[in-house]
Amino acid sequence: MTNQSLIEFKGTKDGLVIKVKENQDFQNIKSALIAHFEKAGSFFKGANLLDIECPYINEEERLALKTIVMEKYDLNFKEVTEDFKPEIFQGLKEGMTKFHSGTLRSGQVLSYEGNLVVFGDVNPGAVVKAYGNIIVLGSLRGIAHAGANGNLDAIVSAHVLNPTQLRIGDIIARSPDEKLPDSVNPEVAKVKNQSVYVESNYNKGKKKGEK
Amino acid sequence: MGKVIVITSGKGGVGKTTATANIGTALAKLDKKVVVVDADIGLRNLDVVLGLENRIVYDIVDVVEGVCKLRQALIKDKKHPGLHLLPAAQTKDKNAIALKQMKGLIDELKERFDYVVIDCPAGIEQGFKNAIVGADEAIVVSTPEISAVRDADRIIGLLEASEISDPKLIINRLRYDMVKRGDMMNTEDMIDILAIDLIGVVPDDENIVISTNRGEPVVNQEQSFAGTSFRNIARRINGEEVPFEEFKIENGLVDRLKSFFKINSN
């Protein structure tokens, strides 16, 4: 008895990822995986295996699965090397931008490797994450993480900026425990001296000299 | 070595999360080291009820996946230094944690705290199984409604099958005035069906709604009925003999006027 839908194969540009979708015990996972390869015949022979994604097994069992797949079915295992570090996103003034329309509700996550504009609200429990700036044309009440891969110049701005938590780069700020009145004007959050500051989007006239 | 208590009910909306927050806080008031664990992955609430939502960086799924250390995911309460929260993940689902992982995690918490109080999700699926896997004891919450009692009965059966014997019962949201009129099941009816020991009766109290929305457990209010009940439940958990509180039906003004006129008319 094996469950075929337990296993999913995902092709990426670097190689194959095997995904185990359900929480089953190791023997079931193993037999399902073998059944899959038996069915596929020599289709996977010589393919690059990137990873076996399964949160339900321990490292030892993962290794056992990898060994089976590599030795029995002739796959090459390609270790994802840690020194592959994505470059810090630099397109804050001009760069890749995603536009998302629709409200993000609790439990939803929207992330993008560039700037992010949301037409809608971000509700508590939702997360927006971008390597660049985050602009919310609506109310931001959830968690926003701008400059997610390290750019501390990234900003978060919203019509109503009332987030549960603001993260810019590796700096985390949380909302005050006392309820503050919502601001009438759009606000922008940015990092100064390693902390997150929120200011109005408008009173910029005097500060023109600053960068 | 601490004690692991799971708070469960089967049915949703009967007050598991409120009970967990209040019992956890009340135990911390007794100078115990307490951690409350939100096992409701995907629909977390305990953080909101405790007013700690804005402090969450890592959650229980991050811990079992090894993204962070257990210590990093524990959130200290604002008022009670002995109280900690291990929040659930909101962006994952109940299958994100396997039984084995949950057991290991609870065992680790047990080493560090006097009490581990687990807020169980509604239902009897994976989330429930995860929540009870490491538990030494269980508290079943039920409201005086036939549907809640039916689900509580099912849960007690499942707990016994998992060898968590002798669960205790909290009757939540009892309205003494309705019981008196015969419009609501009374305590005896419920114990009769469920046949488990009562550990507390919590009266229906609008302070609960107010305190939940403020993110501050009602046990912090000395004068609230529900708060007193939860404080007494915590003392009973802690091994004290506390007599069951008799809330004289503090009838509203209307009732008091009524009784006043009744006396007069006699």
What's this model's pTM, rounded to 2 decimal places? 0.76
Mean pLDDT across B138-153: 96
Whether the per-residue pLDDT at B161 is higher than 70: the answer is yes
Q: What CA–CA distance (Å, rounded) separates A62 from A59?
A: 5
CA–chain centroid gap for A141, Å, is 19
Q: What CA–CA distance (Å, rounded) separates A71 from B7?
A: 48
Cβ-based contacts under 8 A for chains A and B? 34
How much is the pLDDT for A84?
Answer: 56
Strands (E), B97-174: 115-119, 137-142, 168-174
Whether the per-residue pLDDT at B125 is higher than 90: the answer is yes
Considering only residues A28 and B148, tell me which one the structure prediction assigns the higher pLDDT.
B148
Strands (E), chain B: 3-8, 34-38, 75-76, 83-86, 115-119, 137-142, 168-174, 197-203
- The pLDDT tens digits for A25-41 are 888 888 888 888 888 77
Considering only residues A76 and B59, tell me which one the structure prediction assigns the higher pLDDT.
B59
Return the structure tokens found at A63. 């290794």
pLDDT digits (tens), chain A, 211 positions: 455 577 887 777 677 788 887 777 888 888 888 888 888 777 777 777 777 777 777 778 888 888 887 877 777 776 655 555 568 999 999 999 999 999 999 999 999 999 999 999 999 999 999 999 999 999 999 999 999 999 999 999 999 999 999 999 999 999 988 877 777 889 999 999 999 999 988 765 544 444 4
Contact call for B90 and A106, based on CB within 8 A = yes
Averaged pLDDT of chain B: 92
- The pLDDT tens digits for B203-216 are 999 999 999 999 99
Q: What CA–CA distance (Å, rounded) separates A175 from A165?
A: 6
Q: What is the side-by-side strand order in the sheet with A48-53?
A: A7-11, A16-20, A48-53, A76-77
Contact call for A55 and B96, based on CB within 8 A = yes
How much is the pLDDT for B124?
Answer: 95
Q: What CA–CA distance (Å, rounded) separates A44 from A29?
A: 18
Mean pLDDT across B14-24: 97
- Give the closest of B55, B56, B98 to A23, CB-based: B98
Is B15 marked within a binding site? Answer: yes
Any B CB within 8 A of A22 CB: yes
- The pLDDT tens digits for B63-79 are 999 999 999 999 999 99
Q: What CA–CA distance (Å, rounded) separates A197 from B13?
A: 39
Any B CB within 8 A of A172 CB: yes
- The pLDDT tens digits for B165-206 are 899 999 999 999 999 999 999 999 999 999 999 999 999 999
- This complex has an ipTM of 0.82
Q: What CA–CA distance (Å, rounded) separates B22 from B36?
A: 10
Chain B contacts of A148, Cβ < 8 Å?
none
DSSP string, A72-85: HH-PEE----TT--
How much is the pLDDT for B191?
Answer: 95
Return the structure tokens found at B113. 């705290």
Contact call for B51 and A109, based on CB within 8 A = no
C-alpha dihedral over B190, B193, B194, B198, to 10 degrees? 40
How much is the pLDDT for A208?
Answer: 45
Q: What CA–CA distance (Å, rounded) separates B5 from B26?
A: 14
- Give the closest of A55, A109, A177 to B91, CB-based: A109
Rounded to a whole number of angstroms, the distance from the CA of B95 to the nearest CA of chain A is 7
Q: Are B82 and B115 in contact (CB under 8 A)?
A: no
Contact call for A22 and B95, based on CB within 8 A = yes
Q: What CA–CA distance (Å, rounded) separates B100 from A57?
A: 9
Q: What CA–CA distance (Å, rounded) separates A40 from A16?
A: 14
- DSSP-derived pairing of the beta strands B137-142 and B168-174: parallel
Cα radius of gyration rounded to whole Å, chain A: 23
Per-residue pLDDT band for B258 (boundaries 50, 70, 90) equals: low
As a whole-number percent, the residues of chain B with pLDDT over 90 amount to: 89
How much is the pLDDT for B21?
Answer: 97
Q: What CA–CA distance (Å, rounded) separates A163 from A143?
A: 6
* Of B39, B75, B82, B33, the residue nearest B54 (C-alpha): B75
Q: What CA–CA distance (Å, rounded) separates A10 from A2?
A: 20
